[in-house]
Structure 1
Amino acid sequence: MAVEIKICGLSTRDTLEAALEAGADQVGFVLFPKSPRNVDLTAASELAEQARGRASVVVLTVDPDDALLDEVMTKIRPDVLQLHGSESPERVSEIAARYDVRIWKAVALDRAEDLKRAGAYAAVADRVLFDAKPPKGADRPGGNAVSFDWNLLAELDLAKPFVLSGGLDPENVGEALRVTRAPAVDVSSGVESAPGIKDAEKIRAFVRAARDASRAERMAG
Structure 2
Amino acid sequence: MDVRVKICGLTTPDQALAAAAAGANYIGLVFFARSPRNLTLVQACDVALAVPPGVAKVALTVDADDAALMAILAALPVDMLQLHGHESPARVAEVRARFGLPVMKAVGVATEADLPALDSYARVADQVLVDAKPAPGADLPGGNGLSFDWRLIARRRWPCPWMLAGGLRPDNVAEAIRLTGARQVDVSSGVESAPGVKDTEAVAAFIAAARGK
Q: TM-score, normalised by structure 1?
A: 0.94
1:148 aligns with 2:114: no
Q: Deviation per CA, 1:87-139: give whole Å up to 9, x if none.
A: 00000111011012110000000011101011111111000101111123311
Of stretches 103-112 and 42-51 in structure 1, the one that deviates more from structure 2 is: 42-51
CA deviations over 1:50-102 (Å, ceiling 9, x no partner): 11514100010000000011111111231110000000000011101101211
CA RMSD of aligned residues (A): 1.1
1:187 equivalent in structure 2 = 187
Q: 1:50: which partner in 2?
A: 50
1:1-221 alignment, distance < 5 Å: 2-212=2-212
C-alpha contact (below 8 Å) 1:20/1:54 kept by paired residues = no
**In structure 2, what is the Cα distance between the partners aligned to 1:109 and 1:180?**
14
- Superposed CA deviations along residues 133-191 of structure 1, whole A, max 9, x for unmatched, are 11233111000000000001114131111100000000000000000111100000000
Q: Residues of 1 paired with 2:80 and 2:94: CA distance?
A: 15
CA distance in 2, matches of 1:77, 1:16: 14
The 1-side partners of 2:23 and 2:155 are apart by 29
The code of the aligned residue for 1:161 comes to P
Q: CA deviation at 1:42?
A: 1.0
Q: Which runs of 5+ in 2 are unaligned?
A: none
Maintained 8 Å contact 1:110/1:149: yes
State the AA in 1 paired with 2:69.
L
User: Secondary structure of the equivalent of 1:97?
Assistant: helix
Q: Separation in 1 of the partners of 2:23 and 2:157?
A: 29
Q: What percent identity do the matched residue pairs reach?
A: 51
Structure 1 distance, partners of 2:209, 2:52, is 25
**Which amino acid is 1:169 matched to?**
R
SS in 1 for 2:15: helix
Distance (whole Å) between structure 1 residues aligned to residue 101 and residue 3 of structure 2: 22
SS in structure 2 opposite 1:212? coil
Q: Which runs of 4 or more aligned residues in structure 1 lie more than 2 Å from their structure 2 counterparts after TM superposition?
A: none
Q: What's the TM-score once normalised by structure 2's chain length?
A: 0.97
Which blocks of at least 5 consecutive residues in structure 1 are unaligned?
A: 214-221
- For residue 108 of structure 2, give the secondary structure of its aligned residue in structure 1: strand
Question: 1:206 and 1:4 mapped to 2: Cα distance?
Answer: 12
